[in-house]
Structure 1
Amino acid sequence: MNKYLKTAYQFGTLGGILSIGSFIFLSFWNTDPTNLNLIFGYIITPIALFLGIKFFKDYTNSGYLSFAEGMTIGFVTYLLIGVISFLGIALILKVSPDLFASIQETKWSVLEENREVIISQVGIDSFELTQSNLKAMSFWDIALNDGIWKIIPGMFFSIIISIILRKNPN
């Protein structure tokens, strides 16, 4: 089992560190780096998954890859990316309450700017619920959201990449 996980650990850790790095980098340019960091996650997650599965196939498994092996490597990789990203962003927001306040304020202003559109689409009750949830938001919520949005697309990318790279011995 360890032969499956060595590559996944490497690329999952690398993807998580890159995700944290992008959050830090984007926080210098934007008052709310969360949305741009999610877009970066949609780029780095499939790349890390592809490289992890491809490296396993080529260098550990003699050029062969079953769907189950690809999914195992992919699962560990995207889970690590999500967990490392979650923990890193939570730590950053915990030690930088000004950044958290800036993110919360930006989200609040976007909500208020689009008040009429949101109310017309989902109703006043949903808008007011969103307002109350935004007031009660903590840094854990932001970090958890980022981690989840690394894991969910990772599941789909793992399936696709495992199918594409699959090669069974004859």
Structure 2
Amino acid sequence: MNRKLLASYKFGLIGGVFCVAAFVVFKLLGMDPTKLSMLFGYFLIPFFLFIGIKFYRNQGNHGLLSFSDGMSVGFLIYSIIGLVSGLGIWIVLMLSPSLYAEIKMQKIEILNKNKDLIVEQVGLKSFETTSESLLNMTTLDIATNDFIWKIIPGLFFTIIISIILRRNFK
């Protein structure tokens, strides 16, 4: 198995499981699990990227790390976190239709509550399109959104962490 994958998969799996657990815990605490799990991911992803890339540098690559190695390992970590988190949230929502319905209803209520502001800023047509999209939203849409919002910050943090941890000589 590839050294980078061997050094990365455990950090990605653990990070993804933490994201799914946070989703469930936030729901149990009566909070919006979609927003808070995304926010939680912004703290969790850089932590697992840092320790995963550092682990690869120190244990898997004899103390050396090029920028491209850091980017590769980071990509694997945040991709696995995103996949595990997205799949886990999708499974939770499939097993709990009432949670899915509650999340969907909350999003529709927020949209309707802010209708005047939204119409003023982007127009009635955009508001109606967004409203229709929310009415047609599926569990897979929520899981895909979570996946995307793990990948985007993951790329950003990977660039920074790869530069910080880069070491081309011993």
1:61 corresponding residue in structure 2: 61
**What is the aligned partner in structure 2 of residue 15 from structure 1?**
15
Q: Is the CA contact 1:31–1:103 (under 8 Å) kept in the aligned structure 2?
A: no
CA-based RMSD: 1.1
1:153 aligns with 2:157: no
Deviations 1:59-117 (A, max 9, x none): 22222111111011101000000000110000000010000000011111111111111
In structure 1, the partner of 2:137 is 137
Aligned partner of 1:41 in structure 2 is 41
The 4+ residue runs of structure 1 with deviation greater than 6 A are none
In the alignment, does 2:74 pair up with 1:74? Answer: yes
How far the C-alpha of 1:31 sits from its partner, in A, is 5.3
TM-score by length of 1: 0.96
Matches within 5 A, 1:109-120: 109-120=109-120
Alignment match, 2:4: 4
* Worse overlay, 53-62 or 96-105: 53-62
CA distance in 1 between partners of 2:114 and 2:156 (Å): 32
Q: Distance in 2 between matches of 1:32 and 1:65?
A: 39
What displacement does 1:30 show? 2.8
Give TM-score scaled by structure 2 length.
0.96
Counterpart CA distance in 1 for 2:30 and 2:116 is: 25
What amino acid maps onto 2:158 in structure 1? S
Q: How many residues align?
A: 170
Within the alignment, does 1:30 sit opposite 2:68 as a pair?
Answer: no
Determine the C-alpha separation between the residues in 2 that align with 1:31 and 1:52: 30
CA deviation string 1:16-55 (max 9, x = no partner)? 0000000010111235310011000111111110110011
* Partner SS state of residue 32, structure 2: coil
Matched residue type, 1:7: A
Q: Deviations over 1:1-29 (max 9, x none)?
A: 62211121010001100000000101112
Identity %: 48
CA distance in 1, matches of 2:41, 2:23: 10
Q: What is the letter of the counterpart of residue 162 of structure 1? A: S
Higher mean displacement: 59-68 or 15-24: 59-68
Structure 2: which 5+ residue stretches go unaligned? none
* SS across alignment from 2:64: coil
Name the SS of the counterpart of 2:62 in structure 1.
coil
Q: Specify the code of the residue in structure 1 equivalent to 2:118.
A: I
